Amino acid sequence: MKKLIVFLLTISMAIAFSFVPTALAQADTQLVSGVKAAYLTDGSGANTLYEYHATDRFPIASMVKIMTALLSFEEIERGNMTLDETLVISPQAMGMGGSQMFLNAGDSYPVSDLLKGVIVVSANDACVQLAERIAGSEEAFVGMMNERAAELGMTNTHFANCTGLPHPEGYSCAKDVSVMLRELIKYPAYHEYSRIWLEDYTHPDGRVTTMTNTNKLVRFYEGCNGGKTGYTAEAGFCLAASATRGGTDAISVVIGARDSKSRFAASTTLLNHAFAMIKSVKLATKGEELIEVPVGAGKERFVPATVSHDLTEVVLKGEQPKGVIEYHYDKVKAPLCAGDKVGEAYLVVGGVVKAQADLVATVDVDKSTWGDAIEEFLGYYPVKR
């Protein structure tokens, strides 16, 4: 009898445990339904908050333009292109199908307006013109896109064009899309366009095109500050979105929703889930005197320093941060002005650097004189310790 009871208990426990993984999987898939893939992370990418077929390869339609915009802003950052530079529209760019800002070949447009068209209305014609300017041709630009994807660790991505128009060799995954969006939203200039909801754009020839943001969350979701929609028959309805609430950033990606309403609903659910789960904890605050850095040849021996921007760690609500701030200061000499760089601050979690900021002086430090040196020698020099 005892052996029978033990046997039955063993069988019961085995059956019970066999259902645990399935139950968890079902719980995950119920967060968003009717999509091919989904991914949710905090703004730093350090915490995966939800994933569903997140590394499976799918066509992603116009979410490809995230990389097109990213390479454009990186080119500007390097000084190889400017927002004010004017580009003459090529016949190839004008002839692009799909979503457009209706550029005319031969007309001149500033880079800033072309980027606005890419970000707000997903303009294929503007994409191709930017690609031709940066790399000489769309084909060469696509090579740059794939090189950058490899640098970012996007192992399940291959770009075949700069627009996302259907191509049998083009694919990505939800997780990789979040990676390139995370890089794009680092650029302040991007947000000047991503938050536009509605704008009447006047072309050089006087025509007016009404540009409406394809990302409805910009208007209807609190804190949404960017993202990119996409749709083709092959890809379905897609959306990558970024949002900030209470100093906490989150990025969601949805691929292959059945209709436009579903992709916005799924993205809303994901972002709400993120903000219910995580919070940001400041470990170093801009403006606070955090450390004193030695100064050579100065009237003061030390200068108080702060960080150039806040260093925060994203943690699950109810948990304490695990990161520490490590300071590395340079050998600096007076004179110094408030705001001058004097070192670096690193947010380190588990031995890995997660974020970095410059250490900057909070006050001026004048260069010492011979008189100061004599006073110090005589013991009258006030030494700050």
H, E, C per residue of the chain: CHHHHHHHHHHHHHHHHHCHHHHHHHHHHCCCCCCCEEEEEECCCCCEEEEECCCCCECCHHHHHHHHHHHHHHHHHCCCCCCCCEEECCHHHHCCCCCCCCCCCCCEEEHHHHHHHHHHHCCHHHHHHHHHHHHCCHHHHHHHHHHHHHHCCCCCCECCCCCCCCCCCCEECHHHHHHHHHHHCCCHHHHHHHCCCEEEEECCCCCEEEEECCCCHHHHCCCEEEEEEEEECCCEEEEEEEEEECCEEEEEEEEEECCHHHHHHHHHHHHHHHHHHEEEEEEECCCCCCEEEEEECECCCEEEEEECCCEEEEEECCCCCCCEEEEEECCEECCECCCCEEEEEEEEECCEEEEEEEEEECCCECECCHHHHHHHHHCCCCCCC
| Band of pLDDT at residue 97, cut at 50, 70 and 90 | confident
pLDDT at res. 46: 87
Contact 203, 83 (CB under 8 A): no
Helix axes 20-29, 2-18, angle to 10 degrees: 20
Overall average pLDDT of the 180-189 stretch = 97
Overall average pLDDT of the 326-336 stretch = 93
Neighbour tally for 175: CB within 10 Å: 24
302-307 and 352-361 beta bridge pairing: antiparallel
Q: Is the bond into 110 cis (omega within 30 degrees of 0)?
A: no
Residue with tokens 């060469």: 140
Q: HSE on the CB side for 87, CA within 13 Å?
A: 27
Q: In the annotation, is 322 catalytic?
A: no
- pLDDT of residue 9 exceeding 60, the answer is no
| Band of pLDDT at residue 1, cut at 50, 70 and 90 | very low
Contact 3, 9 (CB under 8 A): no
Tell me how far apart the alpha carbons of residues 33 and 263 are, in angstroms, rounded to a whole number: 10
For residue 217, give every residue at least 6 positions away whose Cβ sits within 8 Å of its Cβ, in sequence order, or none: 224, 227, 239, 241, 243, 264, 267, 268
Q: In the annotation, is 194 catalytic?
A: no
Contact 64, 164 (CB under 8 A): yes
Catalytic residue among 62, 72, 252, 262: 62
- pLDDT of residue 333 exceeding 70, the answer is yes
Range in 79-83, 110-114, 336-340, 368-372 the model is least confident about: 368-372
- pLDDT of residue 23 exceeding 70, the answer is no
Neighbour tally for 103: CB within 10 Å: 26
Query: Residue ranges per domain, the chain?
Result: 33-278, 285-378
Picking from 84, 108, 123, 119, the residue whose alpha carbon sits closest to that of residue 192 is: 119
Catalytic residue among 65, 116, 216, 279: 65
The fold for domain 33-278 equals: Beta-lactamase (3.40.710)
Neighbour tally for 270: CB within 10 Å: 27
Q: In the annotation, is 33 catalytic?
A: no
Neighbour tally for 20: CB within 10 Å: 9
- The answer to whether 33-278 and 285-378 have equal CATH topology is no
Report whether CATH 3.20.20.70 matches the domain 285-378. Answer: no
Tell me how far apart the alpha carbons of residues 297 and 376 are, in angstroms, rounded to a whole number: 12
Overall average pLDDT of the 59-68 stretch = 98
Per the document, the length of the chain is 385
Overall average pLDDT of the 78-97 stretch = 97
Catalytic residue among 36, 99, 116, 122: 122
Chain-wide mean pLDDT for the chain? 90
* Two tokens, residue 275: 């903000």
Range in 12-16, 30-34, 234-238, 251-255 the model is least confident about: 12-16
* Two tokens, residue 276: 């219910």
* Two tokens, residue 369: 């004189």
